[in-house]
Amino acid sequence: MQFLALLVFVMVAFFGLYLVKRRKNNKKVNRFMIGSHGVAGCIGLLLLFMGQLRGYWSDWGWISVGLFSLLLIFGFLVFGKWFKQRKTPSLIIAIHGVFATTCIGVLTYSLIMVN
């Protein structure tokens, strides 16, 4: 289940890159696209949490769950800001992306350490 969560997070990350590319090219990024990015992240976090509760991991698994939870909270704050202002600053989006990459790295490290 942890590998499935990792796969979901990687797909969400690539979709996030696609959203950034559309925004940079001044193409429309609608609410459905951003909402589906967030929902897919929630599904990945749910899979990660369920895998951790099954007890296959060490402490790194809980660290991954905590980091991804913070990432999801931060993402929804960005999402809320986008709905209010219609334009989110690029720096906040970049910070979200760097933190997401770090979270995926920690999750990959935890999978390598346990398996």
Give the DSSP H or E segment for 42. Answer: helix 31-53
Q: Specify the pLDDT at position 35.
A: 86
Give the domain extent around 106: 2-114
Q: Specify the pLDDT at position 12.
A: 96
Q: Specify the pLDDT at position 57.
A: 65
Our count of domains for the chain comes to 1
Rounded to two decimals, what is the model's pTM?
0.87
The series of mean pLDDT values per 10 residues for the chain, 115 residues long, is: 92 94 86 89 93 78 90 84 71 89 92 79
Q: Specify the pLDDT at position 14.
A: 96
